Amino acid sequence: MWPMTSLPAVSTAATPPATRGGPDPTTRRRPRLGGLRRWVSPVLILAVWQAASSVGVLDPRDLAAPSQIAASAVEYVGNGVLGEAILASLQRVVLGFLIGAAIALSLALLAGLSTLGDDAVDPPMQMLRTLPHFGLIPLFITWMGIGEAPKVALIAMGVCFPLYLNTVAGIRGIDRKVLEAARSMHLTWAQRVRHVVLPGALPQTLTGLRQSLGIAWLSLIVAETISPERGLGYMINQAREFYQTDVIVLGLAVYSLLGLGTDLIVRRIERRALSWRA
């Protein structure tokens, strides 16, 4: 018989760091590389845009070069015009959002928690949301004049419907057994709303919040064409009169950045508030 040889002992001391529970260096690099890759296409678009403007393919009267837009941004920031315009537009968005969100959440709770409330609230809300609210501008002007009121009303109307629909869907998606358990614990209506309904509907409500903020900025762009006296829309309209495409693009870029900024804030709130879902 062949002599039996003992197998070499397997040492656990030389386990790689990744298998001992420590962070893998490659997993740390991947998010950073992914974030850098997302900047490649925007930078490439800007480079092609600048090159096309430099060689005369793009007429500056039709579309200004990125360098010219950047120079205008520095000038408008320096003289304070851009800051005042942003502040005026932010005030309109915040006021319209607060009004629209208050109406949406109140009606959503009424429709989501009560059959009678659903029968009374949901049909008119479904009818009104199918109306193109930008088409209501002449009616708003007739009712409210050409001041701040129709602008804020247009933003509030754009905010209301997405937030209402998502919140109602979130409330109706709550497990009925959880609500019955809350009743069996003799919780009051206010306690059930606070401890069961609102946390259960929060994911859908935050989704509606993101959609509402996006529509709020779209509504602002249209609202600020109603006899503007200040704000980003006023700045863009003044630039249009003098064919200043660099200022027009600058104003549109600021609209976009403000929208992305508010969406980023809501996403951060969503990560913290819904950390239990991860």
| pLDDT of residue 31 exceeding 70 | no
Which positions ≥6 away from 85 have C-beta within 8 Å?
A: 230, 231, 232, 234, 235, 251, 254
Name the E strands within 52-130.
none
pLDDT score, position 4 = 46
SS3 for 206-217 is: HHHHHHHHHHHH
How confident is the model over 112-117, as a mean pLDDT? Answer: 88
How confident is the model over 188-193, as a mean pLDDT? Answer: 82
Q: Which one-letter DSSP state was computed for residue 136?
A: G
How confident is the model over 125-147, as a mean pLDDT? Answer: 88
For the segment 197-209, what is each residue's pLDDT rounded down to a tens digit? 888 888 899 999 9
Q: Which one-letter DSSP state was computed for residue 11?
A: P
- The amino acid at residue 239 is A
CATH classification (class only), 82-231: mainly alpha
| pLDDT of residue 9 exceeding 60 | no
* Alpha carbon distance 261, 126 (integer Å): 30
pLDDT score, position 30 = 58
How confident is the model over 238-259, as a mean pLDDT? Answer: 91
| Residue 150 CA from chain centroid, whole number | 22
pLDDT band at 274 (very low <50, low <70, confident <90, very high): confident
pLDDT score, position 225 = 81
Determine if the pTM surpasses 0.95: no
Name the E strands within 165-257.
none
For the segment 74-84, what is each residue's pLDDT rounded down to a tens digit? 999 999 999 99
| Residue 274 CA from chain centroid, whole number | 17
pLDDT score, position 87 = 95
Q: How big is the CA angle at 221 (ends 146 and 269), to the nearest 5 degrees?
A: 120
pLDDT score, position 197 = 85
| pLDDT of residue 11 exceeding 70 | no
Cβ distance 162 to 215 under 8 Å? Answer: yes
Q: Where are the domains of the chain?
A: 82-231
Torsion of CA 24, 27, 29, 33, to 10 degrees: 170
